[in-house]
Amino acid sequence: MNRDIQSILLSERKIRSISKRIGREISRDYADKKLVLVGTLKGALPFMAEVLKNITVPCEIDFVKVSSYGSGTTSSGTLKILLDLLRSDMAECDVLIVEDIVDSGNTLSKLTKYMREKGAKSVRTCTLLDKPSRREVEFEADYVGTVIPDEFVVGFGLDYDEKYRNLPYIGVLKKEVYQK
Ligand code: IMP
Ligand code: MG
């Protein structure tokens, strides 16, 4: 285990089984749709890849990049689109936004609204982790991997100051790493 990690919250094995279940649910729900998975860079990349392997219906992938945290550990509340979808077929797309974690709810509630304004046929959301105790806005994702307590976690795409994304598990970051 990495020495900055206090404890492992989700093992590689658990992440794989969660992704399998979600892939099955998505395949069932999107059988007759034009599914476009839209990953939020950078954090959602490993989870999106894992879910993608378990989707058995036709689907496309795309990405957006939005700003949330900077280098701190609290959300800013304003959503900046740093990389947008470049598609001319939005009206046909059943967009499923894939995110690593829902915390305050600001990112996904705003991004969902934005995708609807861009004219997507439908917009739903999928997240690996959910921290409902930290919500600032009312928001529930349509597909949730697992609910976690109010701890700052890293690994499997999630970072602190751009580090730890490469860990194959989700772990709680030691407080001394960010409370200096
Ligand atoms: P929200 O807008 O507050 O819901 O935050 C969503 C974004 O905040 C996520 O996409 C993450 O990038 C980041 N985030 C929230 N909680 C954590 C955490 O525990 N570890 C790492 N990043 C987090
Ligand atoms: Mg993120």
Tell me what pLDDT residue 6 has: 97
The sheet carrying 170-173 orders its strands as: 5-10, 170-173, 153-154
Burial class (CB in 10 A: 0-12, 13-18, 19+), 26: buried
Q: Residue type for 49, please? A: A
Is any atom of ligand 1 closer than 6 Å to the C-beta of 155? no
Domain 12-151 in CATH 3.40.50.2020? The answer is: yes
**pLDDT at 76 exceeding the cut of 70:** no
Q: Which of 103, 113, 177 to mutate to test the pocket of ligand 1 (most atoms within 8 A of CB)?
A: 103
Q: Is 60 helix (H, G, I), strand (E, B) or coil?
A: strand
Query: 118-162, pLDDT tens digit by residue?
Result: 999 999 999 999 999 999 999 999 999 999 999 999 999 999 999
C-alpha span between 94 and 34 (Å, rounded) = 5
Which residue has 């990405």 as its token pair?
63
Q: What is the mean pLDDT of the chain?
A: 94
Q: Distance from the CA of 23 to the center of ligand 2, in angstroms?
A: 20
Pocket test for ligand 1, best of 65, 75, 137, 148 (most atoms within 8 A of CB): 75
User: Residue 89 pLDDT > 80, yes or no?
Assistant: yes
Specify the pTM: 0.94
- Extents of the domains making up the chain: 12-151
Do residues 176 and 145 lie in contact, with contact meaning Cβ atoms separated by under 8 Å? Answer: no
